[in-house]
A and B are shown apart, each in its own frame.
Chain A
């Protein structure tokens, strides 16, 4: 995204300009922010809640909450990061509602040792995705990531899929930077291990 720089002033992210206009009652400016980020918010919500209806509700609630709280947005973080924090909290709330009587937190199940040491050391095919159709591949990727503990999954999604920095991910989730790094590595290794079942070279590949 381009950064607008005016002579003699600091760089201003285009989102900040939109936020300022929205604060003054310009709903169209907020509409631009919605159109820019609704898909990302939906993806994050779906990853956390694992439920389509909940994810759709989170999109609505997160943007409405952001709109209500625009005055509280300090501008010392990116608007997107601030919005993601709201969306993550809304998603966890939805998840808690569905699992009444059960505590739900992003610290759930993170003590597992699974995947911390690679076991499947087979080489993958050169273009592993190519052997599957789009919908089959998407199903494999969904199934695989759904198997991760929520506390690993959300870190991987924010950091590696949605492109937040380590620091932004830590801030968003209320975790320390070392905790994010440790969970991210474990998430990456667990996913790699599980995907290996689908993408590893088969014996017959070598014979070709």
Chain B
């Protein structure tokens, strides 16, 4: 397996969505390719970082104002 072939399957590999056979091929490639190991590890970390850090927070005051406005309109029948 080449690095290009590995990369083509990287998304499915990260999502644990590959067959047993393909998984074995991908893992075999990783054993001999440090570059792909790094790409895999840092891509996984990228997803994890974005998932774990809320970068657009809705401040409590604005949230309460929006909720109140939405519900007031719903009560009036929108």
Which residues of A are at the interface with B, using a C-beta cutoff of 8 A? 27, 30-31, 34-35, 38-39, 42-43, 46-47, 55-56, 59-60, 63-64, 67-68, 116-118, 121-124, 128-129, 137-138, 141-142, 145, 156, 160-161, 166, 181, 184-185, 188-189, 191-192, 195-196, 199
B63 touches A123 (CB 8 A): no
A121 touches B50 (CB 8 A): no
Query: Given the complex, which residues of A lie within 8 Å of B42, measured CB to CB?
Result: 123-124, 192, 195-196, 199
CA distance A67 to B41 in the complex (A): 43
Query: Given the complex, which residues of A lie within 8 Å of B46, measured CB to CB?
Result: 188, 191-192, 195
A121 touches B58 (CB 8 A): no
Query: Given the complex, which residues of A lie within 8 Å of B66, measured CB to CB?
Result: 38, 56, 59-60
Query: Given the complex, which residues of B lie within 8 Å of A63, measured CB to CB?
Result: 70
Query: Given the complex, which residues of A lie within 8 Å of B45, measured CB to CB?
Result: 124, 128, 199
CA distance A95 to B27 in the complex (A): 43
- With contacts A122-B38, A184-B11, A192-B46 known, what are 12 further pairs, Cβ within 8 A? A31-B67, A38-B63, A38-B66, A43-B54, A63-B70, A67-B70, A68-B78, A118-B39, A156-B50, A185-B11, A188-B10, A195-B46
Query: Given the complex, which residues of A lie within 8 Å of B50, measured CB to CB?
Result: 141, 145, 156, 160-161, 191
CA distance A192 to B35 in the complex (A): 14
Given A55-B56, A141-B49, A64–B67 Cβ distance below 8 Å? no
CA distance A191 to B44 in the complex (A): 11
CA distance A124 to B55 in the complex (A): 21
20 examples of A-B residue contacts, CB within 8 angstroms: A27-B71, A31-B71, A34-B71, A38-B66, A39-B57, A60-B69, A64-B73, A67-B78, A118-B7, A118-B39, A122-B38, A123-B41, A128-B45, A141-B49, A141-B55, A145-B55, A188-B47, A189-B7, A195-B42, A199-B42
Interface range, B side: 35 or more
The smallest beta-carbon distance between A199 and chain B, in angstroms, is: 8
A117 touches B35 (CB 8 A): no
Interface SS, B side: helix
CA distance A96 to B31 in the complex (A): 48
A42 touches B56 (CB 8 A): yes
Closest B residue by C-beta to A156: B50
B11 touches A123 (CB 8 A): no
Query: Given the complex, which residues of A lie within 8 Å of B43, measured CB to CB?
Result: 188-189, 192
The smallest beta-carbon distance between B64 and chain A, in angstroms, is: 10
CA distance A207 to B7 in the complex (A): 32
Closest B residue by C-beta to A162: B51
CA distance A160 to B55 in the complex (A): 14
